[in-house]
Amino acid sequence: MTTHALAAHDDRGDGPPVVLIHSFPLDRRMWEPQIGSLSAAGFRVLSMDLPGFGATPLPSHTDPSLDVYCDAVQGVLDHLGVKRCTLVGLSLGGYVALRLASRGLDPIDALVLADTRAGGDSPAVRAGRLVNLSLVRGRGTVALIEKMVPHLLAASTGEGARSRVRSIGGAQSPEGVSFALLAMRDREDATPTLAGLGVPALLIVGEHDAITPPAEMRAFADALPDARLVELPGCGHLSSMEAPDGFNDALIEFLSRVYGVPRH
């Protein structure tokens, strides 16, 4: 395990722990629409900034890898004495959740994987990472998020979520974003691990997700032993921010089945 500073995190509510892992290039503030609802429904909600995002520094002298993010999540859980939890990851957060599961973070009660994939980068996506790397190094994170927004959000998504994505994404450091681009590009294909994931899983996808489209998420769900897929109408890749009510309903319904916690 890489030694690094404890990741900046929030810990809200009481009940079974639910760990929210953010997407690229955002930070834990993206989960603001989920935290109040989940804690009111009887769950302890943990969220953290992955290294290089938000208020968590990158470890020095460390090569880009998803394991750096996994170590940070594990570090927060160890610090808080959390012994078992459900992992919820959106896109990059999903890559991290799957990697934690395949590394044997034990025990995971359940997985929620939103707008994400198990496979590694295709050659075209790998090439795109380098284009984005030179964009962020040359012109900064605001330029990158402006380029990304039309792909991240559905055309019909309102100004509130749109400006939230711009402001969180544009505030990230070029170093953290560059590290993430390389970590995602070089991540392993997690597909071979799926059949062995013996925990219940909920997959969520936005109807208009242009990055991890519903058809791909359906195949992903089919490859898991115990998964159901919920497609949220009218939203894109950032479904938790674009359609928070539908996202929270699906999540709380699933968690309540896993834990038997009554809905308030």
Closer CB to ligand MLT, 4 or 129, in the complex: 129
Which of residues 39, 47, 91, 240 is near ligand MLT by CB under 6 A?
91
- Give the chain's end-to-end CA distance (angstroms, integer): 39
Is residue 253 within 8 Å of residue 259, measured between CB atoms?
Answer: no
* 24 near ligand MLT (CB under 6 A): yes
**Residue carrying the six token digits 């998420």:** 217
Q: Which is nearer to ligand MLT, 5 or 125 (CB)?
A: 125
The string of DSSP letters for 37-75 reads HHHHTT-EEEEEPPTTSTTPPPPTT----HHHHHHHHHH
Of 45, 70, 87, 92, the one binding ligand MLT by CB under 6 A: 92
Smallest separation, CB 177 to ligand MLT (Å): 11
Burial of 18 (0-12, 13-18, 19+ CB in 10 A): buried
Q: How far is the CB of 128 from ligand MLT (least distance, A)?
A: 9
Q: How far apart are CA 244 and CA 248, in angstroms?
A: 6
88 binds ligand MLT per the rule CB under 6 A: no
For residues 199 to 218, the per-residue mask of contacts with ligand MLT, x marking binding by CB under 6 A and - elsewhere, is: ------------x-------
Here's the x/- map for ligand MLT, 224-263, by CB under 6 A: it reads as -------------x--------------------------
* Contact code string over 155-184 relative to ligand MLT, x by CB under 6 A: -----------------------------x
The C-alpha angle with vertex 151 and arms to 250 and 123, in degrees rounded to 5, equals 105
H/E run at residue 86: strand 85-90
Site for ligand MLT in 38-67 (CB under 6 A): none
Contact 144, 177 (CB under 8 A): yes
Cα–Cα distance measured from residue 56 to residue 5, given in angstroms and rounded to the nearest whole number: 8
Residue with Cβ nearer ligand MLT (183 or 194)? 183
Least distance in angstroms from the C-beta of 185 to ligand MLT: 9
Q: Please check whether residue 84 is in contact with residue 108, taking contact to mean a CB–CB distance below 8 angstroms.
A: yes
Q: How many residues bind ligand MLT (CB under 6 A)?
A: 7
Supply 94's token pair: 């999903």
Beta carbon nearer to ligand MLT, 108 or 184: 184
- Among residues 7, 8, 23, 43, the one that binds ligand MLT under rule CB under 6 A: 23
Q: Closest CB to ligand MLT among 16 and 51?
A: 51
Strands (DSSP E) contained in 179-243 are 201-206, 227-232
141 binds ligand MLT (CB under 6 A): no
Instruction: Report the interface residues with ligand MLT, using CB under 6 A.
Output: 23-24, 91-92, 184, 211, 237
